[in-house]
Each structure stands twice: as structure tokens, then as C-alpha cells.
Structure 1
């Protein structure tokens, strides 16, 4: 894995080069000399993020019945229509 570091200006000048570099490893993009963003190939991101589970799958897991979950209350966007 090759790590590449680019300044924000370098990234703006050659974003296609940054995308090519991301195929070989992470590309750190700096802002005023400090790391601010990381560009990854989608496959690497998906590997790091892991599989996504639905709420049904999470609740079906052993111990899922002990999960605390409170759904947000629905607040109407518009007041009820006055039909009088």
C-alpha cells in the first residue's frame, strides 16, 4: 500500500492523478499543511466500513432484544387544514 500526500492546491490541479493514486492506497489531502481529507478507492472504503445491516438484521442478532431504540417522533411539517 502506497500512501500519497497532496496539498489542497495540488489536488485541485490534478484530481485525476489523485484518483489514480487512490487505487494504490490512501491519498491524504492537506489544508495549510495539516491533513484534512482522505481519498480512498471505493473497494477500500467498503472493506473498512464493513457490511451494512438493516434494522431488522440488527434486532435479529443474539442480544438484539436488549437494544435500546427510540424512534424520533413525527412532527407535522404543515398545520392541519382548516376545512370549516
Structure 2
């Protein structure tokens, strides 16, 4: 497992992605672990989402959502 700073991550993302292919990479912020980068295959294995990422975002229950636009945001269209 590799550990790099967020500054190093920003400097060479490609190298970090190559390191993630070998195993999880811990990214630190001010010396403290803040994120973990891993391959998508590893993510699927850990989360049990299988091969269909879309299934990970499906809600089990229905939700009612009706977006409301504030009255002051209505404006005429200028053609």
C-alpha cells in the first residue's frame, strides 16, 4: 500500500494511478490520511457491486421529488 501527499498526487496523477494498479494508495492532507485511491475492479470487489455500477445507485424505495423554482428566478426569454 502506497502513501502520498495530496501535493504529490496533484503533481503526477498518472504515477499515482499506476501505483493504484498495484494496490490501494492513501492520499494524505497535512500529513493525515484523507482519501484512498483504488482501481474500479478493487472498488467493485470491496463493495460487492459486481459488474453493474448502475445497480449501486438504485434506490430501494421510491422518492417523490418535485423541483420548485423560486419566483424571483423566473425571467422572460429574449429571442
TM-score range normalised by the length of the shorter chain: 0.5 to 0.7
TM-score by length of 2: 0.66
Structure 2 runs not aligned, ≥5 long: 50-54, 71-79
Larger gyration radius, structure 1 or structure 2:
1
Change (3 A) 1:22 1:76: closer
TM-score by length of 1: 0.62
Paired positions, count: 64
CA RMSD of aligned residues (A): 2.4
Moved over 3 A (4+): 52-55, 71-76
- Is 1:6 equivalent to 2:4 in the alignment? yes
Structure 1 runs not aligned, ≥5 long: 59-68, 80-84
Q: 2: distance between equivalents of 1:9 and 1:26?
A: 18
